[in-house]
Chain A
């Protein structure tokens, strides 16, 4: 047994905690230190690893890859989807394949944090890194987010409990945590009785406008008659903030029909104090895909290549592409659309040739024509990924595997094309 003091990175969620120590025995993980329950389960690997198959029959890697390349070659408009759980290297190769095959390319941010990441990449919203939050933040708002469940170490590692350079007294005296949510989540439990602002479903836009009014010294009005005193109280806390940060969860993203109310709130907050926004990305490299595709095309998701032309719009999103039956083959890597999307949308995946690349068996892979297993990124293979706040993190290999990395598989498919 050896205790490895070199810290590793956990790829369980978009926090990419880089202080994980492991104990190895015979090349296998026996103990994981500091990772949360979610990260530990992720690092332990899958209970049912995926086999290399073509049409349900076991086969070797070479023929699976050439079969996959054949499907993509014969397709006129293939869909390349997923990417949130794959390394940046594999994502870049996937963009190359989409370009070669005139395909649609989209990732899970299309129905997740896409709007927030887009606004940040376009420079419309002020953002900061999680390390800034640890060192400087004094007012922290979890809006439609429940990090206690989605990102277990979020509060302990970055946002609320730790001591930082300018916040040496930590949570008790130096920081104020506020939850704005439709229910009393586990995060709200920690924020205390006065820390929770419970609003009705879809009440977010109105609450933002009420806050803007309160910050401008007007009476904050909402159609659901939220206690005006409490809104004014919140406004005075926000005004006094030296370094504020809003963690935008999916609750906020889904509640807003457009981003204008959020822009109004952020502009107002930044005129009276200093506020930043960080999207609570779920999968470990969703933000990475957004940044990689932005670099290549100027768009963060929902792209269709057409020769040298790049098309972008809601009609090229994974949901519309499948619903309109606009694609004629699909490659899914690092995602499980059959579990995360409605059945009415993903049913079409069963009708077209489907390739799945993943370490574990998923609901999607059960219906695939070609399945190619890859190494678990961050445990069996290395690479790089981008954290929820846009910081690039280098991932190290911990254990050996005979499976190829997702990047190598994508390279070989690209070559076979």
Chain B
């Protein structure tokens, strides 16, 4: 997953304010959380010297068609359906220790991840440890993904 500094380095860093933000750093933060698109930075699109950076940014910031309320994105085209996240997710283990937690097919409806048609699907995302009042920065599903198909924004 891209970090805010990586994104900032690819922006013009001129603080021209054409995008409506006060600084390029502010734009980078919004870009990371998908509030704006790379195209919203006029100099980046307009000027030839930023072309390479613009292309790099567009590849880095993939569109969020299927983003869930908790900011969890599963990139279907990258997912191989290995189910590592299904087994590693602490919420899945608590909800279904003998099924999903033991590597087998989920037997409970309270799991967050399950694999359908060869691709992982996020359900019940409100149960995710990154959501709600006592949220923590859990990375179990991101760390265990061999293809980096899961992302939080």
Contact = CB atoms under 8 A, between A and B. Distances in A.
B82 A163 contact: no
A34 B114 contact: yes
Nearest to A7: B105
Given A33-B114, A34-B114, A161 B146 contact: no
B116 A161 contact: no
Contacts of B102: 134, 162-164
Interface stretch (A151-159, A335-343, A367-375): A151-159
Given A148-B146, A162-B103, A163-B101, A156 B118 contact: no
Interface string A144-182: 000011001101111001111000001100000000000
Contacts of B93: 163, 170
Contacts of B118: 32, 35-41
B117 A32 contact: yes
A75 interface: no
B84 A156 contact: yes
Interface residues of A, number: 34
Interface string A346-383: 00000000000000000000000000000000000000
Interface in A161-213: 161-164, 170-171, 186-187, 189-190
A21 interface: yes
Contacts of B119: 37
B84 A35 contact: no
The listed residue with most B CB atoms (<10 A of its CB), out of A134, A153, A171, is A153
Contacts of B144: 161, 171, 190
B105 A158 contact: no
Contact of B82 (A36, A41, A170): A36
A171 B82 contact: no
B79 interface: yes
Interface string B76-87: 000111111011
16 contacts: A7-B105, A19-B105, A33-B115, A35-B115, A36-B80, A36-B115, A37-B80, A39-B118, A149-B80, A152-B83, A156-B88, A157-B87, A157-B104, A163-B93, A170-B93, A171-B88
Interface of B: 79-84, 86-88, 93, 97, 101-106, 114-119, 144, 146-147
Interface of A: 7, 19-21, 31-41, 134, 148-149, 152-153, 155-158, 161-164, 170-171, 186-187, 189-190
